[in-house]
A and B are shown apart, each in its own frame.
Chain A
């Protein structure tokens, strides 16, 4: 082996470098893939208080099944406005005592205090986080964007059902909505 010339091109540097560039590009893509992955994982685990959504028929089925449930859970409603919006935004009822497995309806009131047409979006969050995936809504103003006329106002309905599988140590659930002006308006 003595005196073997250290020739640089006995192996292809391009091939190794190419593979590494490919890995780098794939990882850049993976960074973006984490966005949908995150939503999926949050839906499954209720991470970050993301609430569930069920169809009315599923809710009805649950309701019949759980008719004999005798525990009560206090649901608290909270409303907050993100910075920079001129709004009135509040829950019509501050607390409700509910039975898991029963369908309930309540509503939030919102009023646009500005002289412009505004599109708004509400995002929900449930605490404790462990309760999030048991808090299911069949109808919610948070599913869609809400248009408001200048100085317009309305009640926005919310229909929800708490899954009877809610862990037994949870007896109080807080549902919080944050009201945002949609970013296109800015």
Chain B
């Protein structure tokens, strides 16, 4: 089933697209294997990342259980190290990235009024590579030489001392890279080519804008990462010396290449979140997004700056003073466009008729707690201070604040926000709010103490620690288990909404703006087979 199977168009109104019963999904399991429908593929991505969220979360709980008390109690240090490594790889490549791609698949065509993604067969392929890639990746945990244990950053020479399962890790990363680059190409082609007449760039919702920029970041940086891991592979197995000092290479060079990818990568993990929050806050404040144009330019500036700040991850490797100053100031400069965004969200809420349904709670939680992570990021940007903070739990606290109550909260906000559109049923609002408050309490119990132990000097990625860190670690572990298990509520709420509940209207939310709210709920299998009529006055964002 692809969009060009369409034989006739409903002439009057896209609201009635679901009349075409013959365009419904195929039956059985093969529907999901062979599908080229953007909604099916979006659903596959979202389920995949939800499953991976629990796998990665279980790994995090192994880490926190070991750190509950000082000393080695539960796992051996090597396995602990592969847990920290795998937790990062799973959460980054298996949860946040696929979930954003899934949302892009579901929402971008509906937001711009396109019938499907531009390259539907490629779309199918980019999803189906992922389960295989992660099977390979996770299988290394069961091999004799164990999973990768040198940290997700794969720094040589440590990572080159890994056993032969290293090759599996590298191939899995290659597959994941191919999948995200293909997904990004598809998104760029969709946004460039599939907009109906009248849908100008500046009429696109922020989510579409942030994804367009994210897609460029992915296409520009994932291949650099692929190159770096290929060099690791040839260093390990084919006698090259890119990073081996014995052959004239330099291990520090890997860090430069890696972070040239790695820093844009952290914006890949947050820009679509900015887009989601920029969609949700106007809806529940019942006001258009404040400063839309400046939001677009801020997103573009963040993307540009992300390419010139990478060495702030490497201040302790030693660098000329001019280099330290350059990377310090360019890093701090990022807080300007980010600040523009935060203030625009606040200004959007200012004097709005706000209501606090679950998506709005998660969005506001995002704005506040992401800003906490942003401020600790500013502290880390200060070169002389960073030499103290480097590789401590302060860094762990920083990036978990921007990724968990940041990126993950945006994903939960997005799920609650669009779930009625996907399933046709309202989710259980009471349970949703409970999920928010329980998660928010526990996520802070989990990550806030890490600031303290980090500033006191507790190093990251180590299974044991000195006694003075014991109390805060115990509290963090309690928070971790509380946060982890409360996510079962999330699954329950989703499943409950799929199975039934109060029927959702097309608009779903009173203040909803944008084209996705003009189609029926649940969204018909094919939408916008007829281009929507977009006048300059049409509200599309």
Chain A residues engaging chain B, CB cutoff 8 angstroms: 1-6, 8, 10-13, 16-17, 20-21, 23-32, 34-35, 38, 42, 45-49, 82, 121, 123, 127, 129-130, 178, 180-184
Contacts and interface: CB of A to CB of B under 8 A. Distances in A.
Given A24-B222, A48-B252, A6 B114 contact: yes
B260 interface: yes
B323 A82 contact: no
Given A6-B115, A31-B228, A121-B246, A47 B323 contact: yes
A121 B248 CA distance: 8
Contacts of A49: 318
Contacts of A30: 223-224, 227
Interface stretch (B19-27, B183-191, B352-360): B183-191
A27 B531 contact: no
Contacts of B241: 183
A13 B190 CA distance: 8
The interface centre, meaning the residue of B113, B184, B188 with most chain A CB atoms within 10 A of its CB, is B188
B247 A182 contact: yes
Given A1-B534, A5-B530, A28-B227, A121 B118 contact: no
A27 B221 contact: yes
Given A1-B197, A1-B534, A27-B220, A130 B320 contact: yes
Contact of A123 (B220, B245, B319): B245
B118 A8 contact: yes
17 contacts: A1-B197, A2-B533, A4-B197, A6-B528, A12-B193, A17-B119, A24-B219, A27-B223, A28-B226, A31-B227, A31-B257, A34-B256, A35-B231, A38-B256, A45-B320, A129-B319, A180-B245
A178 B247 CA distance: 12
Nearest to B243: A35
Contacts of A2: 533
Given A16-B189, A47-B320, A8 B227 contact: no
A129 B530 contact: no
A157 B499 CA distance: 80
Nearest to A50: B250
Interface in B318-364: 318-321, 323
Nearest to B184: A20
Contacts of B220: 23, 27
A5 B8 CA distance: 9
Question: Which 7 residue pairs of A and B lie closest in terms of their CB atoms, listed nearest first?
Answer: A31-B227, A180-B246, A28-B223, A27-B223, A31-B224, A11-B193, A20-B185
Interface string B190-220: 0011101110000000000000000000011
Contacts of A32: 227, 231
B245 A1 contact: no
A17 B189 CA distance: 6
B246 A182 contact: yes
Contacts of B244: 183
